Each structure stands twice: as structure tokens, then as C-alpha cells.
Structure 1
Amino acid sequence: MEDHNTSKLSEPASPVASVASADIAAEFAALTAEEQEKQRAEWSQELARVEEEINTLRTVLASKTRHASDLKRKLGITMWKEITDDMSQGLKNVKESSVFQRTESVLKSTSEKTASVFGSITIGITSKLSQMKNSDSMRSIEEKVGSAYENVKTRVSTSRSGSINSFPDALNENNSSSGLNSPTESITK
């Protein structure tokens, strides 16, 4: 049985515990058999006292916990309120942490830079579209489409009076009178 207890003493949980366990084992081994038995009896008594104190403290803690629960119930403090208060306090602590502050500033800076880049891209595209709109070829296309539209509109309104039977006929007649073969052909020229 002594070997079993000695082996338990030599199984430390950490390097610091191994030094302490080795010291205790060495001191215990240096004792005579009678002294070892006396030491074990002292440790057993002390263990019994400590376990009794632990049980007393558990009983007192359970009593205090019940009393606190009764008071909370009387005050209207519910479990849900406690959880939400804990969550609010936790979020507040996170928001006040330096890590959160740095992360927030990095994200803000990144979003500002991204907005700036997209803004410059939008300005560039708007500028190019404006240049295209003011170009001679675009004006030419606008004029041709505009005159074709006016001609078709005129033909359709006259078709109501019976001279042209349908919209496709009016469109075909307009294309032949303006020298255009198809709408897509005028755009590609």
C-alpha cells in the first residue's frame, strides 16, 4: 500500500507540482514506518476537517442562493433581465476594449478608401459617357434616330386616316425614304 501512495505522489500535474511532490515524497520516505503512519493519520484528520468545512460552506452557499432568488423574485428581477443585463454589460466591455477600437478604426478607414475608389470610378465613367454623348458620331445617331422617329410618328398618325395600314409598313416606308435599311445598320456606320 505504501508503494501505491508513493506512486500517486510522484504523478504531478505540472513541473512545479513535480518538484513539490518529489520533495514531499523524499521527506515522507525519510520518516520511519511509525512516523509515516502518524503522518498519514494527521493528514486523514485534516482531510476530514477540510471536507466538513467544504460541506458547511456548500450548505451556507445554497441557503444564500435561495435567499437571493427569493429577493430577486420579490423585486421582479427575472432570469431574462439578468441575461440581457449581462449581455449589455458584455457588449459595452467589448466596445470599450482597445482591440475593438482599433478594429473599428481600421474598418472605418477601409470603407472610406473603398468609397473613394468607387467614387473616382463613377466619376470616370460619367466623364466618358458625357464625352461619348457629345461626340459627332453620337449626335449623328441621335439625329437619324430622331428623324426616323418623327417620320414613323407622322406615318402612324396618317395611317389612322387610312393611307398606311400598319406600323411595320410605316417603318419600312420610313427606312426606304430616309435611306436607312435597318436601325442596327445606322448605328454601326
Structure 2
Amino acid sequence: MSGVQTAEEAMAGAGTPGDVNTPDELAGLTPEQAEQLRAEWSRELARVEDEIATLRTVLQSKIRQSSELKRKLGITVWKEITEDVNQGLKNVKESQVYQKTESVIKSTAEKTTSILGGITAGMSTKIGQMRNSDSFRSIEERVGTAYENVKGKVTSRSNSTQSFDEALRDASRSASGATSPSIPENKPLP
């Protein structure tokens, strides 16, 4: 143990020489010597507390002086906070942990992009293969034929009372192989 005690240790040892809380420094001393040592500690404690009070007063004076100079320079609390936050962010970005995290995120993003690119390429290939299949061509032809039939009937009968829905149904019947009744062009529908 060092020869210097804290104020709490000195106060703890302020009991009688036979107390359980007696510091080791008092062990083996006569009661008069112990009392002298306690008096010395008390004087030193008072001196240290006086220095602390003086330092607090000087610190408060310096803080007031600093605040006044900042006010004169136009440095606001908001500006100080902003600078502190910016400095903190800079410190974080320069830290090893941030660098490693950023590296992991970039690597993960690259891998994800690669995987998604592979998936979309695979899907494009499958869709291309589907478009070239006989089934898809057959469906595409039927839809195209139905569309052309409806478009032809609607434009050729713009003066008729047949609705678009009716023309669409007629076209779908003809596309599926059913025969539709023919309507003379010069007669309106009943």
C-alpha cells in the first residue's frame, strides 16, 4: 500500500486504536502516536479539500471566460454540438470496426448482386425457352387472332349496336373453333 491515503480511508480510521476499522498504518503505534498521525491526516485532508475548492473556483472562472469568448466569436452551442458529432462520426469511420463492417457490407452486396443476376439470367433463359415452345406459340396465335377479330369487328361495325364485350365473346368463340353467326354489315343487331 502506498503511504498516501484517500479521505475516505482516513475517515474510516478515525476511530479508537482498538477499532476494527483501524488502518494498517496505525497498527503497532501507541495511542498518542496514532492520534498524532490522525491529526496530520486531518490537516492534509483540509489542505486537499481547500485546493479542490480553489481549483473549482478557477475552473468556473475559466468556463465563464471561454463562454464569453465563444459568444464574441459567434460560436453557438448548436455549432459546437455539430462539430462534436462530425468529429465523432469521423472517428467512427476511421475506426477498425467500422472499416471491417463496411468491408463485410460491400462483400455481401456484391455476392447478393451476383446471386440475383444469376437468378434473373436463369429466368430470362427459361422465359425465352417458353416463348419458343409450341404451346406458347399456339396460345400467342390464338390471342393474336382473337384480338384481330375483335378489332376488325369493332372498327367495321362502328355504327352497330354490338358492344365491345359481345364482339370479344364472338371472337373468342371463333378462336376456340366454334362458329359464330355472321351478321350482315348493313343491318343493325336486334
Equivalent in 73, 82, 85 of residue 71 of structure 2: 73
Q: 2:174 and 2:81 mapped to 1: Cα distance?
A: 82
SS at match of 1:117: helix
Contact 2:150–2:171 at 8 Å: present in 1 too? Answer: yes
Q: 1:150 and 1:4 mapped to 2: Cα distance?
A: 115
Q: 1:81 and 1:172 mapped to 2: Cα distance?
A: 73
Contact 1:148–1:174 at 8 Å: present in 2 too? Answer: yes
Q: 1:99 and 1:148 mapped to 2: Cα distance?
A: 64
Cα offset, 1:35, TM superposition:
0.5
Asked whether 1:166 is paired with 2:163, we answer yes
Identical residues among aligned pairs (%): 58
Q: Provide closer, same or farther for how the CA distance between residues 179 and 6 of structure 1 changes in structure 2, counting only shifts above 3 A.
A: closer
Q: 1:84 and 1:2 mapped to 2: Cα distance?
A: 57
Q: 1:178 and 1:115 mapped to 2: Cα distance?
A: 44
- Map of 1:1-189 to 2, 5 A cutoff? 1-2=15-16, 6-7=20-21, 25-162=23-160, 165-180=162-177
Cα offset, 1:99, TM superposition:
1.0
Q: TM-score, normalised by structure 1?
A: 0.78
Larger % of helix: which? Answer: 1
**TM-align CA RMSD:** 2.1
What letter is aligned with 1:63?
S
Q: 2:59 and 2:174 mapped to 1: Cα distance?
A: 102
Q: 1:85 and 1:5 mapped to 2: Cα distance?
A: 55
Contact 2:70–2:76 at 8 Å: present in 1 too? Answer: yes
